[in-house]
Structure 1
């Protein structure tokens, strides 16, 4: 099967489209697990790539769990720096974009011991060779900040399996690059069920429909590359970062992600903020050059982020409430994890 642009449609894309149809019919039957590592400020790439979709799923009626993966900060660095600051900043961003703690469970790794205990039996279900073949792990090792590859980095996909399966998540919003990780989770669930009896679902990937958003240097927007616009950035800071973004010498603005990644990344950002087609945005700017393009992007981003920034500032005035949100989420996640761990122990014939 092909799309109208003659590009092949992968099985994962077909399955994701079917999941969207099922979500439209019965969202309440799904439980989604997603999350972030608290390694720095969340940015526009996160917002359009994953955060906006979490609010959509929540509002549809999906039972959403959002993990602040504090233990996984250590997968690619030797120490977890400014961890409390990053966790609290992440909570502020979640609340500001519309995450509702009454409908979405926000929790962190280190507060849910039973979740992490699932890592032990799960590790027995995968081989060292299988872990070594994971392409996402290979890429993360290449870009690691650690002096040597740690065991946590190597077993990262199995830890993610515990993240997803502790709550019996059956829906995982991911990008195409995360599919190998999710396949490890599906393998762990399938092998556990075959060996010990049916306990876990085999979760499906819900692929993001948003194209990859590039940073101000024309490469993938990333916290570690210093090329992102943080959700909490001010109007002036946003304008400064966009003014410094990479473009090219061609004054006529077009949307061509392959030939003109820097220009096209800015066009796409404006289009996402405006809810328009990027080709139409580029055509409207036309011969205005990079200056007009950057003005358009700056205005679009600041208009989109204004209400989010206002809510973030309001929540920041009551950090007691923000911390209570995490405590309540941790309590629910602990109750769910303990129940699942008890099921695992019983299935494996272990006495507590």
Structure 2
């Protein structure tokens, strides 16, 4: 049954991908990140590059910095303001254009969060408890299941629906969130009158970006190359990464995770194939591989880092981007909440 649902989602996603370049004006994309730390290469190749592509194709784009979602599984908001500002810097340095893409934060858009109240009445406890993504996120964090984490998919529905989002770039594991959003939109429309579209997941290519230890690149594993890292810091990180004692460089994810992770990183940054890079380095050993990867990453990130340096030197501009993004998001959210209240007969 689950595979049937996935196949149906993939079919719709493929149809949307084919239609996007032809009719970009039909789509409103919502996507975002939690400001729990610095964005890294995994974020860039996994999602940010695709967001820039869709924005440049003419798709109406919204990016939420989900600051309230930090406290789903963390007990502190220390460093959050710094993380938010650096996230904006990273977005802009990577090609997100604030004139075309609204960048905003959860906590600054009250009407978005107010949608939680009617939306929570449209889902049952059983539906919340069986969402597999919530379970896996709780297990990964080792944190108690907070009310906010349990209702995270409903909050995500608010993010998507406040701006009438109809496409959301997601990986396969996030499809249950999209299905819950579709369900909420459908139930609201049936109960009170049509206000919301039923959004679809735009399945991203299954590129799992390995960290420097072969596991998935993650801030929590300490195996990530941050977009904000200097060339020297990047070189140091790659030099410290674990490989193995075999001199001949080969690509084998199972048997040689460390070596293979470095080859994949180099492949992403050069547009070459892992096997071709391995064959070129051959028996020159892991030292030569690390030198190659360091140069590939630093060359690729050089223009992004140059733009970052310009943006960091102008903190007032970053504040203005957030202020203006929040203002525009509030306009949209207020209008949607007015529609919701009118549909529910709550205009007095």
Task: Give TM-score, length-normalised by structure 2.
Answer: 0.95
Q: Do the aligned residues in 1 keep the contact of 2:27 with 2:60 (CA within 8 Å)?
A: yes
Bigger shift: 159-168 or 176-185?
A: 176-185
Q: Is this contact kept in 2: 1:267–1:282, CA < 8 A?
A: yes
Give the distance between the partners of 2:213 and 2:114, measured in 1 at CA.
41
Structure 1 Cα separation of the partners of residues 263 and 245 of structure 2: 16
Determine which of 23, 26, 50 is the counterpart of 1:29: 26
> Aligned partners of 1:145, 1:315: CA distance in 2, in Å?
36
CA distance in 1: counterparts of 2:180 and 2:61, whole angstroms: 21
C-alpha separation in 1, matches of 2:97 and 2:140: 34
Distance 2:37 2:165 in 1: 26
Give the distance between the partners of 1:295 and 1:151, measured in 2 at CA: 47
Equivalent in the alignment of 2:172: 176
Tell me, in whole angstroms, the C-alpha distance in 2 between the residues paired with 1:10 and 1:281.
34
User: Which of residues 103, 108, 114 in structure 1 aligns to 2:111?
Assistant: 114
**2:62 corresponds to 1:65:** yes
Shift of 1:174: 1.3
- Cα distance in 2 for residues equivalent to 1:122 and 1:62: 27
The reply to whether residue 192 of structure 1 matches residue 172 of structure 2 is: no
Q: Is the 8 A contact 1:32 1:172 kept in 2?
A: yes
In 2, the alpha carbon distance for the partners of 1:260 and 1:186 equals 42
Q: Please report the RMSD computed on the Cα atoms of aligned residues, expressed in angstroms.
A: 1.5
- Give the equivalent residue in structure 2 for 1:334: 330
Residue equivalent to 1:83: 80
Give ranges in structure 2 of 5+ residues lacking alignment.
Answer: 1-5
Q: Could you tell me which residue of structure 1 aligns to residue 267 of structure 2? A: 271
Matched, 1:238 2:234: yes
Equivalent residue for 1:316, pick from 308, 312, 315:
312
The question of whether the paired residues in 2 share the 8 Å contact of 1:48 and 1:210 is answered with no
CA–CA distance in 1 between the matches of 2:33 and 2:270? Answer: 26
| 8 Å contact kept, 1:231–1:305 | yes
Hey, what's the Cα distance between the residues in 2 that align with 1:19 and 1:281?
A: 35
> Which SS does the other structure have where 2:103 is aligned?
strand
Deviations 1:190-246 (A, max 9, x none): 111122222111111112225101112221111122111100000110011111223
Larger displacement relative to structure 2 (278-287 or 235-244): 278-287
SS in 1 for 2:99: coil
TM-score, normalised by the number of residues in structure 1 = 0.94
Aligned mates of 1:66, 1:152 — CA distance in 2:
21
Q: Contact 1:78 / 1:145 at 8 angstroms: preserved in 2? A: no
Counterpart check, 1:351 vs 2:344: no
**Cα offset, 1:276, TM superposition:** 2.0
Q: 1:42 aligns with which of 39, 64, 88?
A: 39
Q: Which moved more, 1:204-213 or 1:305-314?
A: 204-213
Task: Tell me which residue corresponds to 1:143.
Answer: 140
Q: Which residue of 2 aligns with 1:6?
A: none
3-state DSSP of counterpart to 1:16: helix
Gaps of 5+ in 1: 1-8
Query: CA separation in 2, counterparts of 1:279 and 1:16?
Result: 30
- Listed one character per residue, the Cα deviations across residues 148-201 of structure 1 (whole Å, up to 9, x for unaligned) are 321001111110010011001011111222112111111111111122222111
Secondary structure class of the residue paired with 1:84: helix
Aligned residues of 2:212 and 2:223 also touching (Cα < 8 A): yes
